[in-house]
Amino acid sequence: MRYRKFGQLDWKGSALGFGCMRLPTIGDDRSAIDEPEATRMVHYAIDHGVNYVDTAYPYHGGNSEWFLGRALKGGYRDKVKLATKLPCWLVKAAEDLDKYLDEQLQKLQTDHVDFYLLHGLNAERWPQMRDLGVLAWAEKAIADGRIRHLGFSFHDELKVFKEILDAYDKWTFCQIQYNYMDVQNQAGTQGLQYAASKGLAVVVMEPILGGRLVNPPQPIQDLWNTTAQKRAPADWALQWLWNQPEVSVVLSGMSTLDQVQENVASADVSGVNTLTREELALVERVRDKYQELSPIPCTKCGYCIPCPNGVNIPRNFEIYNEGKMYDKPGSARETYKMWLPENERASVCQDCDECEEKCPQSIPISEWMPRVHAVLGEGQPYPSAN
């Protein structure tokens, strides 16, 4: 295993971290973790040098922390730094802060969390937590030993990311969604470099975009096949991240032992500035090709919103495009139904055409909306040509 500088700490984290959000389950019940297999996976990773294990309060219906507390028995807890996250959306009053942390310590069967994150900060959640006094509370929890280091995970725009970083000078680390397709999305490359410049360790989540960058459509695979250095698409994505010195740990939410073994092997040959200029250029060509596969030329500028009927036009287009460009229609339909509120879906469109007058890309939005819902909401196949 290769190890990397972790911010300003006198400790190095394994290049690969184990994310406990996509553990193997029994059947389709995400809360029913296959504990014998999941334990075998966690132990294999730790036995092969992984020293950073990440979970969170809601993972696997609240069972991930319980599982991990059992899996880290027998000396494994002493071999790793353990990270979990405060469920900020459940915190309604200051007394909830102790309640959730103490519950998590009980579930994890430990007296301290090495790396504690404020989970999923964004423009709405950050001021709520700040005004509840979460930072002063965290400093007390650090003083009494329940927390060793404080950080946050993040899903929002770059300007919000910088605002959170600049608001507190004692952050140890942060966790961002980052991969070769997200260089300008959310915190992006600028956020990664900004956090590192302030001395923070940066933990990366979604390195293969929730599996979207695995088993790519044929035009993408054809590009990968042009290089003399043969790698699996997932390995390309991981090596691209590890090539950057600002990346401290790359989390992978692994679901099978094979994935653990493959990712450990990838981490074993990882390093900063190990990719050639030609290889980096290839990754850029892959990114460009993915974008070419996107059928709707939406740039998410936001000029089309607010919609008078409440449709979240950019988000509908984004989900539709991702299903097509990554050849993952099932994943897109799941996102549409689970994560996009019904009153914001394409089906709400009333064909008023008000948005079309504002769209710099001249997209016929009212024509696209029923097509988007047909594919994402009704399960119709993507058109073979758009």
DSSP secondary structure, 6-46, as one string: -TTSS-EEESEEEETTS--BSTT-TTSB-HHHHHHHHHHHH
Q: What pTM did the predictor assign?
A: 0.90
Report the alpha-carbon distance of residue 241 to residue 238 in Å, rounded.
5
Helices 134-143 and 95-108: angle between axes, nearest 10 degrees: 40
pLDDT in tens, 244-258: 999 999 999 999 999
Say if residue 314 is preceded by a cis peptide, omega within 30 of 0: no
3 state DSSP class of 258: helix
Helices 329-339 and 313-325: angle between axes, nearest 10 degrees: 160
In the numeric block, the tokens 């897109």 are attached to 332
Q: Which of 104, 139, 141 is nearest to 119 (CA)?
A: 104
Provide the pLDDT for residue 13: 98
Q: Which of 360, 376, 76 is nearest to 368 (CA)?
A: 376
Report the alpha-carbon distance of residue 199 to residue 143 in Å, rounded.
21
DSSP for 189-252, please give it.
Answer: HHHHHHHHHTT-EEEEE-TTGGGTTSS--HHHHHHHTTSSS---HHHHHHHHHHTSTT--EEEE
Q: Which of 293, 209, 196, 282 is nearest to 247 (CA)?
A: 196
Q: Which two tokens stand for residue 286?
A: 């892959």
Nearest-Å Rg of the Cα atoms of the chain is: 21
Q: Which two tokens stand for residue 59?
A: 């993972």
pLDDT in tens, 118-141: 999 999 999 999 999 999 999 999
Domain boundaries, the chain: 3-283, 294-386
Report the alpha-carbon distance of residue 336 to residue 355 in Å, rounded.
21
Q: Residue 287 class from Cβ within 10 Å (0-12 exposed, 13-18 middle, 19+ buried)?
A: middle
CB-CB contact of 374 with 345 (8 Å): no
pLDDT in tens, 355-384: 998 998 899 999 999 999 999 999 999 998
Contacts with 292 (C-beta within 8 Å, 6 or more apart), sequence order: none
Report the alpha-carbon distance of residue 322 to residue 332 in Å, rounded.
7
Which regions of the chain are under pLDDT 50?
Answer: 386
Does 3-283 carry CATH code 3.40.640.10? Answer: no
Provide the pLDDT for residue 168: 97
- Reading phi first (left if > 0) and then psi (alpha if -120 to 50, else beta), residue 117 is in beta
Q: Which of 228, 196, 171, 241 is nearest to 16 (CA)?
A: 241
Q: Which of 243, 234, 185, 187 is nearest to 208 (CA)?
A: 234
CB-CB contact of 380 with 374 (8 Å): yes
CB-CB contact of 283 with 236 (8 Å): yes
Report the alpha-carbon distance of residue 104 to residue 156 in Å, rounded.
26
